[in-house]
C-alpha cells in the first residue's frame, strides 16, 4: 500500500523545485536566447528571426568591448582580493582568542546586509562632496581641500572603488568557506611540517594552501560566477559611469535591454556570457575533482 504512495511522494516533493527552476531560470533563459536572435523591442508585436545580427552589432560597439574587458577586470581583481583577504581573515579567526565570536559576527555582516543598503552606504562614503574618506584625508593634510579625489567621478578611481566595494561584500562568504577548509586540516599536519623545519610561509604555501585547494576552488567558482553576473554594486555606485568606464556586461545588458528598450540587443549581451560561464564552471569543477582524487 505504502509503495504506491511512496512512488509518488518523491516526484511530488521534487515538483515545486522543478517548477521553480523552469519558471524562473529555464523560461527566461530560453526567452533571452530567442530574443537574442530576433528583432524584439519593448512594445513591438512581431518576432522576426534575424540570426546573429544582434551579436554582430554588439561586437562592433566599442562600449560593449569595454564592458567585456571591465567584466574580466572586475571579476578577476575582486576575486584575487577576496581570496587573499579571506585567507588572511581565516588565518586570524581560526585560533581562539578573546572576542573571536564578536569579530566573526562583524566580519559576516557585509554578507547578511542587503547589497543595495551596503552599496548606498558606500555611495555616501565615496560621495564627491560629503565623502568621510576625503574629510579624513583633508584633516590629516594628506590632500588639499577642493582637490580631493573624486572616488566615483574619475574612470580609474571609479573602477577601483566598485572593485573594492564588491570585494567588501564578497569577503565574508569566502572567509566562511575557507575557514571551514582550515578547520578540516588535521592539526598534526602543520605541526609535523613545523617539526620538519618548515617556517610559517613554507607551511602556508606548501602544506596548508595546497591541502585547501579544492575548497578554495569552490569559493572562487561561486565568487567568479556571482561577480560575472552581478551588477548591483555598479548600478548603485556609478551606473556604469563615468562615460561607461565601469560598465560591465550585466549592467550594460540592463541599460540596453530594459532601460533602453532594445530587448534583442540586451539579450545578446547577456547571452554572450553564457558560454564563458559554462567554461569557467567546467574548469573549476574539473580542477576541484582532480585535486580530490589525486
Window contacting other proteins (CB under 8 A); options: 75-83, 97-105, 203-211, 254-262:
203-211
Nearer residue to other proteins within complex by CB, 34 or 209? 209
Nearer residue to other proteins within complex by CB, 44 or 206? 206
Q: Residue from 52, 184, 206, 243 that binds other proteins (CB under 8 A)?
A: 206
Q: Does 184 bind other proteins (CB under 8 A)?
A: no
CB of 292 to other proteins, least distance (A): 11
Q: Does 288 bind other proteins (CB under 8 A)?
A: no
- Verify cis geometry, omega within 30 degrees of 0, for the bond prior to 242: yes
Q: Does 96 bind other proteins (CB under 8 A)?
A: no
**What one-character-per-residue DSSP string does 100-163 give?**
HHHHHHHHHHHHHS-HHHHHHHHHHHT-TTT-HHHHHHHHTTSS-TTS---TTTSHHHHHHHHH
Residue holding cell 530567442? 34
Q: Does 191 bind other proteins (CB under 8 A)?
A: yes
Question: What is the biggest distance separating any 2 CA atoms in the chain, rounded to whole angstroms?
Answer: 83
Nearer residue to other proteins within complex by CB, 95 or 188? 188
CA–CA gap between residue 151 and residue 128 (Å, rounded): 7
Cell of 90: 581565516
Q: Residue from 4, 43, 99, 199 that binds other proteins (CB under 8 A)?
A: 199
Cβ count near 172 (within 10 Å): 22
Q: Does 207 bind other proteins (CB under 8 A)?
A: yes
CA–CA gap between residue 208 and residue 97 (Å, rounded): 21
Nearer residue to other proteins within complex by CB, 213 or 225? 213
Cβ count near 227 (within 10 Å): 25
Q: Residue from 18, 21, 52, 189 that binds other proteins (CB under 8 A)?
A: 189
Q: Does 292 bind other proteins (CB under 8 A)?
A: no
Q: Which residues bind other proteins (CB under 8 A)?
A: 186, 188-189, 191-199, 202, 206-207, 210-211, 213, 291, 294
Amino acid at each position: 500500500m505504502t509503495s504506491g504512495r511512496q512512488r509518488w511522494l518523491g516526484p511530488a516533493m521534487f515538483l515545486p523545485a522543478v517548477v521553480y527552476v523552469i519558471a524562473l531560470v529555464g523560461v527566461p533563459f530560453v526567452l533571452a536566447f530567442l530574443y537574442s536572435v530576433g528583432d524584439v523591442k519593448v512594445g513591438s508585436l512581431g518576432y522576426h528571426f534575424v540570426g546573429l545580427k544582434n551579436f554582430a552589432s554588439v561586437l562592433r560597439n566599442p562600449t560593449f568591448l569595454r564592458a567585456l574587458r571591465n567584466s574580466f577586470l572586475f571579476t578577476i581583481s575582486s576575486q584575487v582580493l577576496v581570496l587573499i583577504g579571506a585567507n588572511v581573515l581565516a588565518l586570524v579567526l581560526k585560533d581562539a582568542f578573546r572576542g573571536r565570536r564578536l569579530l566573526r559576527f562583524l566580519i559576516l555582516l557585509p554578507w547578511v546586509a542587503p547589497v543595495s543598503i551596503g552599496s548606498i552606504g558606500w555611495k555616501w562614503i565615496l560621495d564627491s562632496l560629503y565623502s568621510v574618506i576625503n574629510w579624513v584625508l583633508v584633516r590629516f593634510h594628506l590632500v588639499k581641500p577642493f582637490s580631493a579625489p573624486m572616488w566615483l567621478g574619475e574612470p580609474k578611481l571609479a573602477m577601483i572603488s566598485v572593485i573594492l566595494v564588491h570585494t567588501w561584500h564578497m569577503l565574508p562568504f569566502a572567509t566562511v568557506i575557507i575557514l571551514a577548509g582550515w578547520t578540516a586540516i588535521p592539526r598534526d599536519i602543520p605541526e609535523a611540517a613545523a617539526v620538519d623545519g618548515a617556517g610559517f610561509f613554507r607551511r602556508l604555501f606548501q602544506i596548508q594552501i595546497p591541502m585547501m585547494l579544492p575548497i578554495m576552488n569552490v569559493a572562487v567558482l561561486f565568487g567568479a560566477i556571482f561577480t560575472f553576473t552581478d551588477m548591483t554594486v555598479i548600478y548603485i555606485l556609478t551606473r556604469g559611469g563615468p562615460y561607461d568606464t565601469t560598465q560591465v556586461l550585466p549592467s550594460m545588458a540592463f541599460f540596453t535591454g530594459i532601460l533602453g528598450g532594445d530587448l534583442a540587443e540586451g539579450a545578446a549581451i547577456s547571452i554572450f556570457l553564457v558560454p564563458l560561464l559554462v567554461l569557467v564552471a567546467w574548469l573549476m569543477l574539473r580542477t576541484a575533482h582532480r585535486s580530490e582524487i589525486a
